[in-house]
């Protein structure tokens, strides 16, 4: 009987352990982001460094002496293709070429159209220990993956290995050396003092301008626009004729200035002002007086309808190509959609208007000290029990940085290769020199967008990466969106509105949970609510997705179900064994 009691107690303990096995993983559930983060020192987004709240541990991977080519490996590769057939073909060719070099390695691919979906699936699979081998992702996401024990592989030793590291002697392909990777891009993958990601592609944001309309309004377009210039021209463009059409374009629709990613808008404005956003250790400085002043200015132009956003109106490129927008800010990775003669179009041909387009840096407060965000996907490797499997994953991740892959992928959009080896190659330089030969492979807007980042890497930055940084990024965008809407509603954007907005946003994204919020933000007991029945103009407004708060959340349903099944199965086995013991004892009596 004592044995039975002890067994039951052991089973209860095992069940408790299983039900809590994911406790160290605290996902940042607002991980779906536009483009990724980066560097800061103190009160401003600065140099790339992950939060150092916890001391760096020795997580170095021990590289096998040799790669065992006699063994078969099937690597699981998760990637985002964005329904771009050219990019899908490049990924497939990279895998085929790699298998030709290493016949013992094959691939199982899972394609996504959204980085947020990759993030959610990784979180689920961390709990069940079924993560992919190689994944295209962002450092913000990796910061959360690292909260799981031994989830990621530190790349430090792999990168430095004499045989299989960058430029290694036993590689079967022409790998870039460490000093042939753009240093700033490589540093973005350092988290907790270790290299956990390799840059794959990089882009920035560009100001796409209808130069024809700017000059029609009597202005000369500068090489770098100030925010004051953008606001002034946008307001001047709002003049209408007696028939209700706008004088500058002769149409009944005009939104002079549209910004695609409002989180990037606020982050870059604060960076340019040397104002607070966050610190490296996760202290949140976003909710400050500088931000308030910016929101008040933005609301003014929302009220006049001279400014709008992607979430409120629609894709800025569509308005630009239809002659209904003068200034459109979007990623350089979307350059093939910008311009009336762009290869990619999302509006009917009859709606497009012929105009001269200019590709410029995002608006600046100080044109002599430009600041522009660096963004783009990275590559990471997940830990496995077999070191040989990890080494195979590393070899492929490294292969993605070879010239053939880098140059081919960068040519699909306004992306920039992350290696100096590729950028300085004769093939890539020839590509850049042929801008304007056609509207497809050598579309001038696409190439000018890529050159924008190449020529301004020293002016680029990324925001600090920590568990919760994606929530903060979304909060920055929400502030802008709400300020514009308040302007549309012709409400007063005063200190009371700003205070209430800060309070609501902090609560919405749970930024007061597990993060250090600037204590200067005063509390508000009753958050502002919209008047009943009031709508937001223009009518083309898209519903915004409900943001998900950061911080701890329950284990995903699939993982919970699996754990429950394991517990029930063990309990059932134990019960059957106990019944059998009781029967045997009765028979002996």
pLDDT of residue 55: 41
Is it the case that residue 552 has pLDDT exceeding 50?
no
pLDDT of residue 14: 45
Q: Count of alpha carbons within 13 Å of 385, Cβ hemisphere only?
A: 2
Any idea what DSSP says for residue 548? P
Among the ranges given (332-341, 470-479, 520-529), the one the predictor scored with the smallest mean pLDDT? 520-529
Rounded to whole angstroms, the Cα distance separating 195 from 191 reads 6
Sheet of strand 134-137: strand arrangement: 105-112, 73-80, 134-137, 378-381, 198-199
The SS3 assignment for 278 reads: strand
Better-predicted residue by pLDDT, 572 or 543: 572
Number of H-type helices and E-type strands within the chain = 19, 18
Rounded to whole angstroms, the Cα distance separating 227 from 232 reads 9
Rounded to whole angstroms, the Cα distance separating 36 from 349 reads 33
pLDDT of residue 513: 67
DSSP-H helix ranges across 177-322: 183-187, 211-216, 227-236, 262-273, 289-303, 316-321
Rounded to whole angstroms, the Cα distance separating 435 from 449 reads 11
Question: What fold characterizes domain 205-373+462-517?
Answer: D-Maltodextrin-Binding Protein; domain 2 (3.40.190)
430-468 residue pLDDT tens: 999 999 999 999 999 999 999 999 999 999 999 998 888
The SS3 assignment for 379 reads: strand
Is it the case that residue 414 has pLDDT exceeding 80?
yes
Any idea what DSSP says for residue 169? T
Strands (E) in 47-178, as ranges, are 73-80, 105-112, 134-137
State CA 432 to chain mean position distance. Answer: 26
Rounded to whole angstroms, the Cα distance separating 557 from 553 reads 11
Is it the case that residue 533 has pLDDT exceeding 50?
no
Better-predicted residue by pLDDT, 255 or 523: 255
88-128 residue pLDDT tens: 999 999 999 999 999 999 999 999 988 889 999 999 999 89
- Asked whether 316 and 328 are in contact (CB, 8 A), the reply is yes
Domain positions in the chain are 2-22+555-588, 205-373+462-517
pLDDT of residue 565: 59
- Asked whether 365 and 268 are in contact (CB, 8 A), the reply is no
45-59 residue pLDDT tens: 333 334 333 444 456
231: which 2 tokens? 């606001």
- Asked whether 447 and 429 are in contact (CB, 8 A), the reply is no
Place of tokens 């308005």: 319
pLDDT of residue 563: 59
Better-predicted residue by pLDDT, 194 or 148: 194
pLDDT of residue 348: 94
Better-predicted residue by pLDDT, 172 or 541: 172
pLDDT of residue 586: 63
- DSSP string of 398-466? HHTTSHHHHHHHHTTTT-EESBHHHHTSHHHHHHHHTTTS-SSTT-HHHHHHHHHHHTTGGGEE-B-B-
pLDDT > 90 fraction of the chain, expressed in percent and rounded: 70
In the structure, what pLDDT confidence band is assigned to residue 160 with cuts at 50, 70 and 90? very high
Among the ranges given (160-174, 224-238, 274-288, 531-545), the one the predictor scored with the smallest mean pLDDT? 531-545
504-523 residue pLDDT tens: 999 999 998 655 554 444 43
- The mean pLDDT value of the chain amounts to 84
Among the ranges given (159-168, 368-377, 419-428, 465-474), the one the predictor scored with the smallest mean pLDDT? 465-474
What is the rounded average pLDDT of the residues 424-432? 98
pLDDT of residue 198: 97
41: which 2 tokens? 């020192």
pLDDT > 70 fraction of the chain, expressed in percent and rounded: 78
What is the rounded average pLDDT of the residues 283-294? 97
Rounded to whole angstroms, the Cα distance separating 80 from 89 reads 12
- Asked whether 237 and 288 are in contact (CB, 8 A), the reply is no
Better-predicted residue by pLDDT, 284 or 147: 284
What is the rounded average pLDDT of the residues 305-317? 97
pLDDT of residue 60: 79
Among the ranges given (178-192, 362-376, 574-588), the one the predictor scored with the smallest mean pLDDT? 574-588
């Amino acid at each position: 009987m004592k044995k039975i009691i002890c067994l039951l107690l052991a089973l209860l303990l095992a069940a408790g352990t299983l039900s809590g096995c994911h406790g160290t993983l605290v996902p940042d559930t607002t991980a779906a982001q536009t483009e990724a983060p980066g560097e800061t020192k103190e009160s401003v987004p600065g140099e790339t460094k992950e939060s150092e709240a916890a001391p760096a541990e020795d997580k170095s991977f021990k590289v096998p002496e040799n790669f065992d080519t006699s063994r078969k490996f099937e690597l699981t590769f998760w990637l985002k293709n964005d329904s771009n057939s050219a990019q899908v073909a490049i990924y497939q060719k990279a895998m085929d070429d790699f298998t030709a070099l290493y016949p013992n390695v094959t691939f199982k691919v899972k394609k996504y159209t959204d980085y947020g979906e990759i993030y959610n699936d990784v979180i689920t699979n961390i709990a069940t220990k079924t993560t992919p081998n190689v994944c295209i992702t962002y450092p913000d996401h990796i910061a959360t993956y690292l909260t799981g024990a031994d989830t990621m592989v530190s790349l430090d030793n792999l990168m430095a290995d004499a045989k299989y590291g960058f430029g290694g002697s036993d590689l079967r392909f022409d790998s870039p050396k460490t000093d042939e990777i753009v240093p700033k891009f490589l540093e973005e993958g350092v988290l907790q003092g270790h290299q956990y990601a390799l840059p794959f592609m990089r882009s920035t944001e560009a100001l796409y301008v209808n130069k024809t309309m700017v000059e029609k309004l009597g202005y000369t377009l500068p090489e770098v626009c100030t925010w004051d210039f953008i606001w002034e021209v946008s307001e001047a463009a709002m003049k209408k004729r007696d028939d209700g059409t706008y004088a500058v374009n002769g149409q009944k629709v005009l939104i002079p200035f549209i910004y695609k990613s409002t989180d990037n808008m606020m982050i870059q404005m604060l960076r340019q002002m040397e104002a607070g956003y966050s610190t490296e250790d996760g202290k949140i400085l976003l909710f400050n007086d500088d931000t308030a002043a910016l929101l008040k200015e933005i609301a003014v132009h929302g009220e006049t309808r001279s400014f709008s956003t992607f979430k409120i109106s629609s894709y800025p490129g569509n308005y630009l190509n239809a002659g209904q927008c003068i200034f459109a800010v979007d990623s350089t990775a979307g350059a093939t959609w910008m311009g009336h003669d762009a290869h990619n179009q999302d509006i009917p041909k009859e709606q497009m208007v012929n105009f001269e387009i200019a590709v410029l840096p995002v608006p600046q407060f100080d044109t002599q000290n430009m600041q522009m965000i660096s963004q783009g996907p990275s590559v990471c490797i997940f830990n496995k029990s077999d070191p040989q499997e990890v080494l195979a994953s590393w070899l492929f991740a490294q292969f993605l940085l070879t010239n053939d892959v880098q140059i081919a992928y960068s040519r699909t959009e306004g992306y920039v290769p992350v290696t100096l080896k590729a950028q300085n190659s004769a093939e890539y330089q020839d590509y850049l020199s042929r801008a304007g030969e056609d509207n497809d492979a050598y579309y001038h807007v696409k190439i000018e967008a890529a050159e924008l980042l190449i020529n301004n890497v020293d002016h680029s930055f990324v925001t600090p990466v920590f568990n919760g940084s994606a929530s903060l990024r979304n909060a920055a965008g929400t502030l802008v969106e709400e300020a514009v809407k308040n302007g549309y509603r012709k409400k007063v954007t005063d200190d009371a509105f700003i205070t209430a907005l800060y309070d609501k946003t902090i609560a919405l994204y749970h930024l007061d949970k597990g993060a250090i919020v600037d204590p200067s933000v005063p509390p508000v007991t009753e958050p502002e609510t919209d008047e009943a029945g009031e709508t937001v103009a223009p009518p083309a407004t898209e519903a915004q997705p409900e943001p998900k708060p950061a911080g701890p959340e329950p284990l995903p349903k699939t993982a919970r179900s699996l754990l429950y099944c394991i517990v029930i199965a063990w309990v059932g086995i134990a019960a059957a064994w106990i019944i059998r013991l009781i029967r045997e004892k009765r028979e002996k009596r």
